[in-house]
Amino acid sequence: MSHPLGRTPGKVIAVHLNYRSRARERGRVPDQPSYFLKPPTSLAGTGEPLLRPRGCELLAFEGEVALVIGRRAHRVDPADGWSYVHWVTAANDAGVYDLRYADRGSNLRSKGADGFTPIGPRLLDARRLDPGALRLRTWVNGEVVQDDTTDTLLFPFAELVADLSRLVTLEPGDVILTGTPAGASVVSPGDVVEVEAVSGELSTGRLRTPIADADHDLETWGAMPKAGSAERAAAWGAAFVPEALLDKGIEEGLRGVAVATLSAQLRKRSLPHMSIDGVRPTRPGDTMVGVAHTLRYLPLREDLFQRYGNGMNAQKRAVEELRPGHVLVMDARRDTSAGTLGDILALRALRRGAVGVVTDGAVRDSATVAALGLPVYHAGAHPSVLGRRHVPWDTGIPVACGGALVQPGDLLVGDADGVVVVPPELAEGLIADCVEQERQERFITEKVRAGQSIDGLYPLGPQWRAAYAKWCDSDSEGDQP
The pLDDT tens digits of the residues spanning 97-133 come to 999 999 877 899 999 999 999 999 999 999 999 999 9
Distance, in Å, from the CA atom of 423 to the CA atom of 421, rounded to the nearest integer, reads 7
Looking at the structure, tell me whether residues 211 and 322 fall in a common domain. no
Please say if the pLDDT value at position 481 is more than 50: no
User: Is the distance from CB of 326 to CB of 354 less than 8 angstroms?
Assistant: yes
The verdict on residue 444 lying in a domain is: no
User: Is the distance from CB of 387 to CB of 361 less than 8 angstroms?
Assistant: no
The verdict on residue 357 lying in a domain is: yes
Binding residues, by number, are 342-345, 364-365
Looking at the structure, tell me whether residues 234 and 256 fall in a common domain. no
Please say if the pLDDT value at position 294 is more than 70: yes
Looking at the structure, tell me whether residues 222 and 296 fall in a common domain. no
> What is residue 286's three-state secondary structure?
coil
State the pLDDT at residue 344.
93
The verdict on residue 2 lying in a domain is: no
Q: Regarding predicted confidence, which is higher, 387 or 15? A: 15
The verdict on residue 461 lying in a domain is: no
Whole-number Cα distances in Å, 81 to 131, 156, 166, 292: 11, 10, 11, 43
Q: Residues 315, 307, 195, 21: what is their CA dihedral angle, to the nearest 10 degrees?
A: -60
State the pLDDT at residue 445.
95
Please say if the pLDDT value at position 310 is more than 50: yes
Nearest CA to 358 among 429, 459, 275, 443?
275
pLDDT in tens, 153-207: 999 999 999 999 999 999 999 999 999 999 999 999 999 999 999 999 999 999 9
Cβ–Cβ contacts within 10 Å for residue 143, how many? Answer: 7
Looking at the structure, tell me whether residues 16 and 135 fall in a common domain. yes
CA angle 385-387-389, nearest 5°? 100
Distance, in Å, from the CA atom of 176 to the CA atom of 435, rounded to the nearest integer, reads 60
User: Is the distance from CB of 393 to CB of 298 less than 8 angstroms?
Assistant: yes
Q: What mean pLDDT is predicted for residues 444-448?
A: 94
Looking at the structure, tell me whether residues 229 and 273 fall in a common domain. no
Q: What mean pLDDT is predicted for residues 48-74?
A: 96
Binding residues for Mg(2+), by number, are 365
Collect all residues with Cβ–Cβ distance below 8 Å to 221 and sequence separation of at least 6: none
Whole-number Cα distances in Å, 389 to 82, 339, 386, 404: 38, 9, 6, 21
Looking at the structure, tell me whether residues 126 and 73 fall in a common domain. yes
The verdict on residue 144 lying in a domain is: yes
Looking at the structure, tell me whether residues 101 and 203 fall in a common domain. yes
- Return the percent helix, strand and coil in the chain, to nearest 5: 30, 30, 40
Provide the pairing of β-strand 326-331 with 356-359: parallel
Looking at the structure, tell me whether residues 229 and 355 fall in a common domain. no
The verdict on residue 214 lying in a domain is: yes
The verdict on residue 469 lying in a domain is: no
Beta strands in 76-156 (DSSP E): 85-92, 95-96, 117-125, 135-140, 143-149
Binding residues for substrate, by number, are 342-345, 364
User: Is the distance from CB of 293 to CB of 318 less than 8 angstroms?
Assistant: yes
| Of 167-176, 236-245, 448-457, 468-477, minimum mean pLDDT range | 236-245
Q: What is the mean pLDDT of the chain?
A: 92
Which of the listed residues 410, 427, 444 is the one where a domain comes to its end? 427
Collect all residues with Cβ–Cβ distance below 8 Å to 153 and sequence separation of at least 6: 18, 19, 20, 132, 178, 179
| Of 15-29, 33-47, 228-242, 363-377, minimum mean pLDDT range | 228-242
> What is residue 439's three-state secondary structure?
helix
Looking at the structure, tell me whether residues 208 and 313 fall in a common domain. no
- Give the count of domains, the chain: 2
The verdict on residue 151 lying in a domain is: yes
Specify the long-range contacts of residues 433-438, CB closer than 8 Å, at least 24 apart.
433/265, 433/268, 434/257, 434/258, 434/261, 434/262, 434/265, 435/253, 435/256, 435/257, 437/261, 437/264, 437/265, 438/257, 438/258, 438/261
Distance, in Å, from the CA atom of 362 to the CA atom of 340, rounded to the nearest integer, reads 6
> Which CATH number do you get for residue 71?
3.90.850.10
Provide the pairing of β-strand 362-363 with 376-378: unpaired
Q: Regarding predicted confidence, which is higher, 371 or 479? A: 371
Please say if the pLDDT value at position 233 is more than 60: yes
Domain membership of residue 423 as a residue range: 248-427
Looking at the structure, tell me whether residues 213 and 289 fall in a common domain. no
Q: What mean pLDDT is predicted for residues 2-6?
A: 81
> Which CATH number do you get for residue 392?
3.50.30.40
Looking at the structure, tell me whether residues 206 and 263 fall in a common domain. no
Collect all residues with Cβ–Cβ distance below 8 Å to 52 and sequence separation of at least 6: 59, 96, 188, 189, 211, 212, 213, 214
Which of the listed residues 184, 214, 239 is the one where a domain comes to its end? 239
User: Is the distance from CB of 86 to CB of 67 less than 8 angstroms?
Assistant: no
Which of the listed residues 427, 453, 470 is the one where a domain comes to its end? 427
Q: Which helix (H) or strand (E) holds 289?
A: strand 288-299
State the pLDDT at residue 480.
43
Looking at the structure, tell me whether residues 34 and 145 fall in a common domain. yes
